[in-house]
Amino acid sequence: MKKLIQGHQKFRESYVPRHIDQLEELSQGQKPRVLFITCSDSRIDPNLITQADIGELFIIRNAGNIIPPYGAANGGEGAAVEYALNALDIQQIIVCGHSHCGAMKGLLQLGKLEEEMPLVYSWLKHSEATRRLVRENYTQYKGEELLEITIAENVLTQIENLKTYPIVHSRLYQRKLEIFAWIYHLETGEVLAFDPETHSYVPPQTMLSIHETGDVIPGIFEKTSAPAVACKLLQRTPAAEAGAARSLEPMSQTVHAETPVDLMPWLTPEQAERIYRGSLARP
């Protein structure tokens, strides 16, 4: 507590005087550009990892970055979504999961939580769709590998849940809303974003040039006929190959003809295909 009090004093002495006009303007009302939905995990700071300024992000945080389906819970998540879109006219939503998520670890062993942490158990039941999908489709995987799969699938599950909200459904129909799926890697500080056109997780900066030209970035479930974003495969850094902490980097301009497994040997073949290249493609 002493550190927090000292930090606040430093904030009052150094930050406030230099930003007093901005703070006074914000006191008249907020105009955030993005609804950022992420985990309560203390290792994630949405403003820090996006370098967003105060007032730019409207944030929902809870265990597991979960948005219960419409009508399934009376918590604040649904109200916050509704307020963000209706009152603040936010037109972009990011659902951001993260590596080593404790909530997703709990989801994988849900039965053990019922007696020890009944409230956590009840909350994670809102992500039953993720648990069942993983249980029935990834039975051959265990440990950290299964956790990575669960984290990636859960982000997409929450976007499906968002679609059940009337205001989200309506805004998507009007093409007034984009929804993006991100995964933040604690080890490297890197974000991967799901591209629904190529059905892959890619560095978000690969989509930035399209946005700057005025075209629409293909957002999750957005009604658009925009062309697919070019997807560069990912490879491990030399440090990771040497046995250090894992990290993902975009490849150079030349994309070789190897398979995803060749380029990402730390993933299983099925995981590489489903999460990073495109077995999510619909018929």
User: For residue 142, what pLDDT is reported?
Assistant: 86
For the chain, list the domains and their CATH numbers: 30-226 (3.40.1050.10)
Give the C-alpha separation, 260 to 276, whole Å.
Answer: 8
Closest CA to 264 of 251, 252, 253: 251
Give the C-alpha separation, 175 to 163, whole Å.
Answer: 13
Q: What is the pLDDT of residues 155-171, one digit of tens each?
A: 999 999 999 999 999 99
> Which residues are CB-neighbours of 146 under 8 A, at least 6 positions away?
108, 134, 138
Helix 166-173, helix 76-86: angle, nearest 10: 30
Q: Do residues 224 and 175 lie in contact, with contact meaning Cβ atoms separated by under 8 Å?
A: yes
> Which residues are CB-neighbours of 116 under 8 A, at least 6 positions away?
none
User: For residue 282, what pLDDT is reported?
Assistant: 35
> Which residues are CB-neighbours of 145 under 8 A, at least 6 positions away?
267, 268, 271
Q: Tell me the pTM.
A: 0.75
Instruction: Report how far apart, in Å, the C-alpha atoms of 62 and of each of 125, 162, 231, 235, 281 are.
Output: 14, 15, 31, 32, 30
Helix 128-137, helix 143-162: angle, nearest 10: 130
Give the C-alpha separation, 186 to 39, whole Å.
Answer: 12
218: number of Cβ within 10 Å: 21
User: For residue 176, what pLDDT is reported?
Assistant: 94
Give the C-alpha separation, 235 to 192, whole Å.
Answer: 13
Of all residues in the chain, the percent with pLDDT exceeding 90 is: 58
Q: What is the pLDDT of residues 7-19, one digit of tens each?
A: 999 999 999 999 9
